[in-house]
Amino acid sequence: MSARTCLVTGTDTGIGKTHASVALLQALRADGRRAVGMKPVASGCDWQDGGWRNEDALALQAASRPRPAYADVNPVALPEATAPTLAARAAGVVVEAEVLHAAHARLAATADVVLVEGAGGWAAPLAEDLEHADLARWLGGAVVLVVGLRLGCLSHARLTARAIAADGCRLVGWVGNRIDPEFSRADDYLGLLADALPAPCLGVLPFVGDGGSAEAGALVLDPAWIDALPRRP
């Protein structure tokens, strides 16, 4: 049986894609699904346990059930904390789409749902000649957008939604993340976002600060939404 899957992207870098992905994994598991996370390409890794490890990928691994091997969660781990294309060049690594596809297939063989977290925003390349749109289309075209709630997020979210559609993919949901505790108009912006984006809001995450993590139960997903995700073997 193939797993349902989607790609998680963001309105920018540093807006809480991992925070949201962990919350989504917890919500999927609360619905009785075997849910695992994946970070195909991660830059900014530390040497741990005999290999390069990325903090975001480790969080996804910890939130996954069944717990997958790190090498499948993050098949391309790059040391330098910069754009993946530059980090790969610095490490002398050629990112091959087939390697990412194979890792996803191993995860899909043991799970009901696989969430694939991108790197940076939608238009940031994953590697030389590999765009988020390429990976998302291979996964079936479903995309969840994480919107960092701050000044400018409405424009960023609308532009990203348009780009996702123009690239032949489908925005199937979005998550608001309160990344700025001083942003007093966040609730007003949530209303504008709900009117502007062509997909349902899957929930709004509270501000947690540095080192915080998603709390279990932060998001509650409609089973019908889950069952509408495309399958990928």
Residue 219 lies inside a defined structural domain of this protein: yes
Residue 36: Cβ within 10 Å count:
31
Is the whole-model pTM more than 0.85? Answer: yes
Residue 87 lies inside a defined structural domain of this protein: no
Catalytic residue among 17, 19, 29, 39: 39
pLDDT band at residue 25 using 50, 70 and 90 as cut-offs: very high
Residue 150 lies inside a defined structural domain of this protein: yes
Amino acid at 150: R
> With 70 as the cut, is the pLDDT of residue 210 above it?
no
> What is d(CA 7, CA 99) in angstroms, rounded to the nearest whole number?
17
Strand partners, 115: 6, 37
Which structural domain, as residue segments, surrounds residue 196? 3-39+97-232
pLDDT for res 171: 98
If we measure between CA atoms, which residue out of 196, 205, 197, 212 comes closest to residue 24? 205
> What is d(CA 45, CA 82) in angstroms, rounded to the nearest whole number?
10
Residue 100, token pair as written in the block: 């990412």
pLDDT for res 1: 57
Mean per-residue pLDDT of the chain: 95
Residue 52 lies inside a defined structural domain of this protein: no
Total number of domains constituting the chain:
1
Is 39 assigned a catalytic role? yes
Residue 74, token pair as written in the block: 């993050």
- Tens of pLDDT, residue by residue over 53-69, are 999 999 999 999 999 99
Q: What is the DSSP letter of 190?
A: H
CATH number at residue 207: 3.40.50.300
Residue 65: Cβ within 10 Å count:
16
Residue 57 lies inside a defined structural domain of this protein: no
pLDDT band at residue 202 using 50, 70 and 90 as cut-offs: very high
% of the chain beyond a pLDDT of 70: 96
> What is d(CA 94, CA 191) in angstroms, rounded to the nearest whole number?
43
pLDDT for res 215: 63
Per-residue CA distances from 154 to 12, 36, 161, 178 (Å):
12, 30, 11, 13
- Structural contact between residues 202 and 31, judged by C-beta atoms closer than 8 angstroms: no
pLDDT band at residue 183 using 50, 70 and 90 as cut-offs: very high
Residue 63 lies inside a defined structural domain of this protein: no
> With 80 as the cut, is the pLDDT of residue 28 above it?
yes
pLDDT band at residue 212 using 50, 70 and 90 as cut-offs: low
Residue 160 lies inside a defined structural domain of this protein: yes
pLDDT for res 81: 96
What would the mean pLDDT of 129-136 be, rounded to a whole number? 97
**Terminal Cα distance for the chain, rounded:** 7
Residue 64 lies inside a defined structural domain of this protein: no
